Amino acid sequence: MPTKKKKSNYKQSEEIKPPQGRLGVLLPGLSGAVSTTFIAGIEAIKRGLGKPFGSLTQMGTIRLGKRTEKRSPHILDFVPLAHTQDLVFGGWDIFPDNSYEAALKAGVLEKNLLDELRLELEEINPMPAVFDRRYVRNLNGIHLKKEKTKMHFAERLIDDIKNFKKENKLDRLIMIWCGSTEIYIKPSKVHSTIQNFEEGLRDNHPEIAPSMIYAYAAIQCGVPYANGAPNLSADIPALIQMAKRKKVPIAGKDFKTGQTLMKTIIAPGLKARMLGLKGWFSTNILGNRDGEVLDDPYSFKTKEESKLSVLEYILQPDLYPELYSDYYHKVRINYYPPRGDAKEAWDNIDIFGWLSYPMQIKINFLCRDSILAAPIVLDLVLFLDLAKRAGLYGIQEWLSFYFKSPMFGEGLYPEHDLFIQLMKLKNTLRYLKGEELITHLGLDYYDYYEPG
Ligand SMILES: NC(=O)c1ccc[n+]([C@@H]2O[C@H](COP(=O)([O-])OP(=O)(O)OC[C@H]3O[C@@H](n4cnc5c(N)ncnc54)[C@H](O)[C@@H]3O)[C@@H](O)[C@H]2O)c1
């Protein structure tokens, strides 16, 4: 497909507005494992009870200029990011538990730590959700809004957003979907234009899922939106168009943690060394509520699509048919309650090398899903807020680093290689600040190089 020449939406660094005042973080799925681990984590970090390991915005540095210049500031000193102290949390859930009760139930963080944060966490209560069991069949909500049409639901969410901003005296807002994975929906006519979508909202169209209604409400309010789950949500032409029109940055889908993170670390390495692939079998056990939701084949289908696409794009079988056109890829998720949030993932990778000799790689990753996801939520909040203040809008491809199924522009393909994604992210920060982009060419360090 030909790539259209588009006007750049890039603004110069001088125009990045400073992060003044308080930044509201709205989370659909406020009582879930990821949300509560993120919120309690930030409260713990504010009090010096923990460190933000896993967060690029808090721990990462960025090299500027030549290697000989030795300039590698911390990212948070390089670009004007909001401070964690200025974050204010809110959101919606189908369960009414406050964030203390919900974090206890999620069972990710220890009770001792949560007890120290109890006062702050008890003050965070979810607003009633927009939810429909037809889209998440293994959950039964009790803390719900009641309206006649999906457009009315959207209007109530818009009221919530405005009230939350006013009541908490916030300057800016971000919304990150941390709600459950919805059933698989294919983009169709109702998603194709803003007009069709709004008509669908008024007519209660069955292909408009709750996560799309939240995304619509956020974009309508000018609030940057990211989707941490694999369901479409904002990844439909109607909402992409609306985000451009309203100048709102959007990103998604599906936080890249655990097994897929490992996949996007290892697969580029195999390809870099031209090692072939015969098969990649991935299986997991997990026992949290997310696992229970994914136990339903309709929600699992959404997750499966997201997890499967990764290898295809990284390995480029069209360019390397002898190496990658004939591999078998299988992904399984098994709900196993005793494990709770402490997931265990196994990968068996059958590869081949010189003269087709076979080899195997086995990975056994004993990870903690929400511990890996929480820093991603923080980085997305801070980078989306930066994007908005820098005048970026529409799909934020430079945030692909954080997603299993990155959103991408028309005529492109998604970039899944973690290392290309990181380079893209850091170059975007350099670009925003008017610094030279780094290509890693490096010839000019050597005296045999004579330019011109
Ligand atoms: N933890 C990870 O590593 C990871 C990685 C990638 C994606 N995800 C996705 O992130 C999401 C959150 O994961 P989790 O482990 O916190 O799951 P969770 O089940 O603990 O939390 C999800 C929360 O969303 C709520 N919810 C569902 N539908 C809602 C709606 N319409 N409105 C408001 N609230 C709603 C549920 O009640 C629940 O409290 C899931 O979709 C999961 O697939 C998580």
pLDDT digits (tens, 9 = 90+) for 177-204: 999 999 999 999 999 999 999 999 999 9
By residue count, the chain amounts to 452
The residue to mutate among 30, 34, 286, having the most atoms of ligand 1 within 8 angstroms of its beta carbon, is 34
Q: Is the pLDDT of residue 251 over 70?
A: yes
- Position in ligand 1 atom list of the atom nearest CA 29: 24
Confidence of residue 440 (pLDDT cuts 50, 70, 90): confident
pLDDT digits (tens, 9 = 90+) for 293-316: 888 888 888 888 878 888 989 999
pLDDT score of 449: 64
Domains (ranges, CATH) in the chain?
Answer: 13-255+370-432 (3.40.50.720), 259-366 (3.30.360.10)
The finding on whether 97 has its CB within 6 A of some atom of ligand 1 is no
pLDDT score of 441: 81
Q: Is the pLDDT of residue 69 over 60?
A: yes
Separation of alpha carbons 357 and 276, rounded Å? 10
The residue to mutate among 254, 264, 290, having the most atoms of ligand 1 within 8 angstroms of its beta carbon, is 290
Separation of alpha carbons 56 and 414, rounded Å? 21
Burial of 402 (0-12, 13-18, 19+ CB in 10 A): buried
pTM: 0.94
Q: How high is the mean pLDDT of the chain? A: 93
**Partners of 403 in the beta sheet?**
255
pLDDT score of 9: 43
Residue 35's φ and ψ, nearest 5 degrees, are -60, -50
For 78, the token pair is 């390089």
The finding on whether 291 has its CB within 6 A of some atom of ligand 1 is no
pLDDT score of 194: 98
